[in-house]
A and B are shown apart, each in its own frame.
Chain A
Amino acid sequence: MLFNSFTYLVFLPIVVLLYWLLPERFRTTLLLVASYIFYMNWMPAYGLLILALTLVNYAIGIAIDKHREKSKTLLTVGLVFNLGCLCFFKYANFLADSVVQSVNWITHSTGAQSATLQSPALKIILPLGISFFTFEFIHYITDIYRGHKPVKNIRDFALFAAFFPSQIAGPIKRFQDFVHQLEEKIVFKFQNFSDGLFLIFQGLFKKIVLGDNLGAVVNTGFSHIDKLGMLDAWIAVAGFTFQIFFDFAGYTDIGRGSALLFGYKVPENFNLPFLAANLTDFWRRWHMSLSTWLRDYLFIPLGGSRGGAWKVRRNVFITMVLGGLWHGAAWHYVIWGAFHGMGLVLSKEWHDLVTKFRPLHACAHIRSGTAPG
Chain B
Amino acid sequence: MFTVYFLFQAGILFRADGLPQAFAIAQKMYIPAASKLVVDSFLASCLPLALSLYWGFLIIKGLFEKSDNKYAQSIVQWWLHSAPAQTVAYLSIAIVILGFAPMQVAPFIYFQF
In Å, the complex CA distance between A50 and B61 comes to 40
In Å, the complex CA distance between A116 and B45 comes to 46
In Å, the complex CA distance between A347 and B83 comes to 48
A237 and B11 form a contact (CB under 8 A):
yes
Given contacts A222-B16, A332-B18, 15 further A-B contacts (CB under 8 A): A4-B108, A169-B113, A209-B54, A212-B104, A217-B41, A225-B24, A225-B28, A226-B24, A229-B28, A229-B33, A233-B35, A235-B42, A251-B108, A282-B7, A333-B13
Per-residue 0/1 for B15-57: is the Cβ within 8 Å of any A Cβ (1 yes, 0 no)? 1111101101100111111111111011001110011001000
A-B pairs, top 4 by smallest CB distance, nearest first, are A229-B35, A231-B35, A233-B28, A232-B38
CB < 8 Å A-B pair total: 207
Per-residue 0/1 for B79-113: is the Cβ within 8 Å of any A Cβ (1 yes, 0 no)? 01101001000100110110011101111111111
In Å, the complex CA distance between A370 and B55 comes to 24
CB < 8 Å: which of B21, B42, B45, B108 contacts A169?
B108
In Å, the complex CA distance between A206 and B80 comes to 22
Question: What is the CB-to-nearest-CB distance from B73 to chain A, in angstroms, rounded to a whole number?
Answer: 16
B113 and A212 form a contact (CB under 8 A):
no
Which residues of B sit under 8 angstroms from A206, Cβ to Cβ?
54
Which residues of B sit under 8 angstroms from A326, Cβ to Cβ?
113
A213 and B45 form a contact (CB under 8 A):
yes
CB < 8 Å: which of A168, A197, A204, A224 contacts B86?
A197
Which residues of B sit under 8 angstroms from A232, Cβ to Cβ?
28, 35-39
Residue of B whose beta carbon sits closest to that of A252? B110
CB < 8 Å: which of B28, B30, B46, B111 contacts A168?
B111
B110 and A169 form a contact (CB under 8 A):
yes
Within 8 A of B (CB), among A233-290: 233-241, 243-244, 247-248, 250-251, 274, 276-279, 281-282
Taking the complex as formed, is A3 at the interface, i.e. its CB lies under 8 A from any CB of chain B? yes
Residue of A whose beta carbon sits closest to that of B35? A229
A3 and B19 form a contact (CB under 8 A):
no
Taking the complex as formed, is B10 at the interface, i.e. its CB lies under 8 A from any CB of chain A? yes
Taking the complex as formed, is A207 at the interface, i.e. its CB lies under 8 A from any CB of chain B? yes
Question: What is the CB-to-nearest-CB distance from B108 to chain A, in angstroms, rounded to a whole number?
Answer: 5
CB < 8 Å: which of B3, B38, B90 contacts A201?
B90
CB < 8 Å: which of A210, A247, A277 contacts B3?
A277
Taking the complex as formed, is B78 at the interface, i.e. its CB lies under 8 A from any CB of chain A? no
B50 and A190 form a contact (CB under 8 A):
no
A244 and B106 form a contact (CB under 8 A):
no
Taking the complex as formed, is B6 at the interface, i.e. its CB lies under 8 A from any CB of chain A? yes
Which residues of A sit under 8 angstroms from B33, Cβ to Cβ?
228-230
The secondary-structure label for the interface of chain A is: helix
Which residues of B sit under 8 angstroms from A46, Cβ to Cβ?
none
Question: What is the CB-to-nearest-CB distance from B110 to chain A, in angstroms, rounded to a whole number?
Answer: 4
Taking the complex as formed, is A343 at the interface, i.e. its CB lies under 8 A from any CB of chain B? yes
Which residues of B sit under 8 angstroms from A343, Cβ to Cβ?
6, 10
In Å, the complex CA distance between A339 and B26 comes to 14
Residue of A whose beta carbon sits closest to that of B36? A229
CB < 8 Å: which of A128, A205, A221 contacts B54?
A205
With contact pairs A222-B25, A227-B37, A241-B7 given, residues A332 and B110 touching in the complex (Cβ less than 8 Å): no
CB < 8 Å: which of B7, B25, B105 contacts A221?
B25
Which residues of A sit under 8 angstroms from B97, Cβ to Cβ?
201, 204-205, 208-209
With contact pairs A332-B14, A332-B22 given, residues A233 and B108 touching in the complex (Cβ less than 8 Å): no
Which residues of A sit under 8 angstroms from B83, Cβ to Cβ?
190
A279 and B105 form a contact (CB under 8 A):
no
B19 and A331 form a contact (CB under 8 A):
yes
Which residues of B sit under 8 angstroms from A126, Cβ to Cβ?
112
A231 and B39 form a contact (CB under 8 A):
yes
Taking the complex as formed, is A2 at the interface, i.e. its CB lies under 8 A from any CB of chain B? yes
Question: What is the CB-to-nearest-CB distance from A25 to chain B, in angstroms, rounded to a whole number?
Answer: 29
Taking the complex as formed, is A327 at the interface, i.e. its CB lies under 8 A from any CB of chain B? yes
Per-residue 0/1 for A162-190: is the Cβ within 8 Å of any B Cβ (1 yes, 0 no)? 00000011100000000000000000001
In Å, the complex CA distance between A75 and B97 comes to 47
